[in-house]
C-alpha cells in the first residue's frame, strides 16, 4: 500500500532463513520502496529463537496514527498453541505495529483460547479500532472474530461454531457498520463455504436508549464475582431492535465487549483486583446501520 509519505510499504517472504516451519526463507519481511524504485528493508521477522515476534507476515494497513498494522500467522506464543487444529510446530501468531522507520512492536500474542493463525491481517474501522479474524483457535477450534485497540487490547467478539468456520480472507466493512467475510466450511453435506455478515456497529441516525444494570451492585473486596453487567438497548421512540456491539468500561478501561442479542448484552466481570472504593462503570453502544450510539454510566460501590 502507499503510505501517507508517498512511499510504498509491503510484506514479503524470505528474510531469516529458518522459522521452525520447515521451510527456509519463510520468516517474512516488511519493506519500503520509493516511487522511483529504491527499496529499504524495514524489518525481518523471527530474529530470535522461538520467533517471539512471529513469522509468516500478512499484508499491512496504515492506521490513522501513521503507523502500519498487520498479523503474523505463526510464532509468538508457541507453547500455548500446540493444541491448534493443523498445528505447524505450535503456530499461534501475533498482531503487530511497525513505524514507517521500521520499529516493530508486538501488540498481542494469540494463545489458542482467543484464536490462532490470523492469516489475513487487520483493518481499521471508523471507530479507530482494528478488526480481524483468526482461522483457528477459540472455544471450538474453528476461528474467531476479534477487535483490537491501537494500544493492543484485544477482545474476542465472536467464536465460530464447530459445524462451520475457519474464516478466510480479510473482512470488508460496509458503510452500515456491518462487516462481511467468508468461510471455506459450512458444516453442510458439501461443505462448500459461506458468506457471513457480522454487525460491529458503527452508528446510524435513529436515536437509541441504553440502560445498564449491575448484579450485584456491590461486592466484598477480593471477591471474584462475577458482577453481571447487562446493557439493554432500545429505540428512543418507535419500533425496531438494535443490533451491534456494546462495550463495557470501568473508568477509561474497556473490560469487555459483546454483540447484542434481542437488544441486550450481559458481560460477567471479575472485580477481584479492585481496591475498596466506588467505580464508574459505563456501557457504550456503538450503533448499527439504523440506530445511533448511546451511553449509560452507573456507579458501582465496593
Enumerate domains of the chain plus CATH numbers. 8-199 (2.120.10.30), 208-301 (2.60.40.730)
Q: How far apart are CA 292 and CA 185, in angstroms?
A: 34
19/35: higher pLDDT = 35
* Maximal C-alpha separation, the chain: 65
CA angle 104, 92, 249 (to 5 degrees): 75
For the chain, give the mean pLDDT: 84
User: By mean pLDDT, which of 50-59, 69-78, 291-300 is the weakest?
Assistant: 291-300
**pTM score:** 0.69
Q: Which among 24-28, 35-39, 240-244, 245-249 has the top mean pLDDT?
A: 35-39
Closest by CA position to 201, among listed 285, 295, 145: 285
Give residue 225's pLDDT: 81
Q: How far apart are CA 211 and CA 34, in angstroms?
A: 52
Q: How far apart are CA 59 and CA 261, in angstroms?
A: 33
Share of the chain above pLDDT 90, in %: 35
Give residue 89's pLDDT: 47
CB 15 within 8 A of CB 44: yes
Confidence category of residue 255, pLDDT binned at 50, 70, 90: confident
Amino acid at each position: 500500500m502507499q503510505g501517507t509519505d508517498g512511499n510504498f510499504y509491503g510484506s514479503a517472504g524470505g528474510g531469516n532463513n529458518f522459522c521452525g516451519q520447515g521451510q527456509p526463507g519463510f520468516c517474512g519481511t516488511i519493506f519500503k520502496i520509493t516511487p522511483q524504485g529504491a527499496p529499504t528493508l524495514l524489518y525481518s521477522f523471527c530474529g530470535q529463537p522461538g520467533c517471539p515476534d512471529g513469522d509468516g507476515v500478512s499484508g499491512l494497513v496504515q492506521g490513522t496514527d501513521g503507523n502500519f498494522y498487520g498479523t503474523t500467522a505463526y510464532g509468538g506464543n508457541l507453547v500455548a498453541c500446540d493444541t491448534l487444529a493443523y498445528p505447524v510446530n505450535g503456530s499461534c501468531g501475533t498482531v503487530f505495529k511497525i513505524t514507517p522507520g521500521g520499529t516493530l512492536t508486538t501488540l498481542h500474542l494469540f494463545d489458542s483460547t482467543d484464536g490462532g493463525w490470523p492469516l489475513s491481517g487487520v483493518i481499521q474501522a471508523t471507530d479507530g479500532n482494528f478488526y480481524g479474524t483468526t482461522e483457528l483457535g477459540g472455544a471450538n477450534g474453528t476461528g474467531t472474530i476479534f477487535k483490537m485497540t491501537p494500544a493492543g487490547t484485544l477482545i474476542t467478539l465472536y467464536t465460530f461454531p464447530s459445524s462451520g468456520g475457519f474464516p478466510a480472507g480479510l473482512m470488508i466493512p460496509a458503510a452500515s457498520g456491518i462487516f462481511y467475510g467468508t468461510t471455506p466450511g459450512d458444516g453442510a453435506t458439501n461443505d462448500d463455504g459461506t458468506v457471513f455478515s457480522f454487525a460491529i456497529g458503527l452508528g446510524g441516525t435513529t436515536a437509541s436508549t441504553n440502560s445498564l444494570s449491575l448484579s450485584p451492585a456491590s461486592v466484598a473486596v477480593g471477591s471474584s464475582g462475577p458482577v453481571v453487567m447487562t446493557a439493554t438497548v432500545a429505540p428512543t421512540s418507535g419500533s425496531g431492535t438494535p443490533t451491534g456491539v456494546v462495550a463495557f468500561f470501568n473508568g477509561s478501561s474497556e473490560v469487555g465487549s459483546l454483540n447484542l442479542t434481542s437488544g441486550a448484552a450481559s458481560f460477567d466481570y471479575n472485580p477481584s483486583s479492585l481496591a475498596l472504593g466506588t467505580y464508574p462503570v459505563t456501557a457504550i453502544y456503538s450503533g448499527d446501520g439504523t440506530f445511533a450510539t448511546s451511553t449509560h454510566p452507573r456507579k458501582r460501590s465496593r
